[in-house]
Amino acid sequence: MTYPEGYTAAVVGAASGIGRAVAERLARAGVRVACLDRHDPAEVAAGIGGGAVAQALDITDAAACERTIGGLWTRFGKLDALVNCAGVVGRTNIISEDVDHDDFETVVRINLTGALFLSQPALRRMRETGYGRILHVASIAGKEGNAGMAAYSASKAGLIGLVKVMGKEYAESGVTVNALSPAVIRTPMVAALPDAQVKYMTDKIPMKRCGELDEAAAMIGWIVSPECGFTTGFTFDMTGGRAVY
């Protein structure tokens, strides 16, 4: 994948997992990368080089999102792409009648509300310049629901709906907004889940394996490139054959 000279991307959740893999892949392709994460992403930025910058960001803070995106715009003069990989699973293996209210609200605030807070300052500026690529990482749980994961499934379903709305609203502006819907990807977040939960999810995948970080990064890299220009409001499948719609 090649990008125009000076192409700039912000990757949220860049300290680990899919976000880190995306930041590294984009940097190798010559993209100027801003690594953002609630945990200090300085190590990642230093490791990928290429003028990458790092900044801590809590996406549940709307004012911080505005300052951060605005600051990147000032620093780089533009922002071509925004990749949002931030997300939490919350408590799992809990049936809906026993879901903890505080845990539910925390998961939704990070996975869904945070995506809105992050998108708003980017959309505003991208619309003005007439170009932009926004990608939110959702989940197959948002399409089908995973038993025992009410908060996560509901938040990711909401995120898919939000992407559909934004895609339609900005379809004529040169800005695309899409989502990626992975099944189980081999990330630290997945490694922290109970074995029973991972087996439940993996057994549903016809390929009978987890997706790899490089596979996710490659797909995201294309979605936020100029080559992916006629698709918006769409949730791309990455499920090893689990979701074929």
Residue 11 dihedral angles phi and psi, to the nearest 5°: -120, 115
How far is Cα 38 from Cα 28, in angstroms, rounded to an integer?
24
Amino acid letter for position 53: V
Residue 153's alpha-carbon distances to 28, 71, 95, 221, in angstroms, are: 33, 33, 12, 25
Count other Cβ atoms within 10 Å, centred on residue 242.
Answer: 20
Nearest CA among 134, 230, 138 for reference residue 180: 138
Task: Find the helix or strand (DSSP H, E) in which 226 lies.
Answer: none
Nearest CA among 194, 206, 188 for reference residue 244: 206
Active site residues: 152
Count other Cβ atoms within 10 Å, centred on residue 75.
Answer: 14
- In the β-sheet with 81-84, what is the strand arrangement from edge to edge? 53-56, 32-37, 8-12, 81-84, 132-137, 175-182, 235-238
With a CB cutoff of 8 Å and minimum separation 6, the contacts of 143 are 157, 160, 181, 235, 243
How far is Cα 21 from Cα 14, in angstroms, rounded to an integer?
8
| Contact by Cβ (8 Å): 151, 109 | no
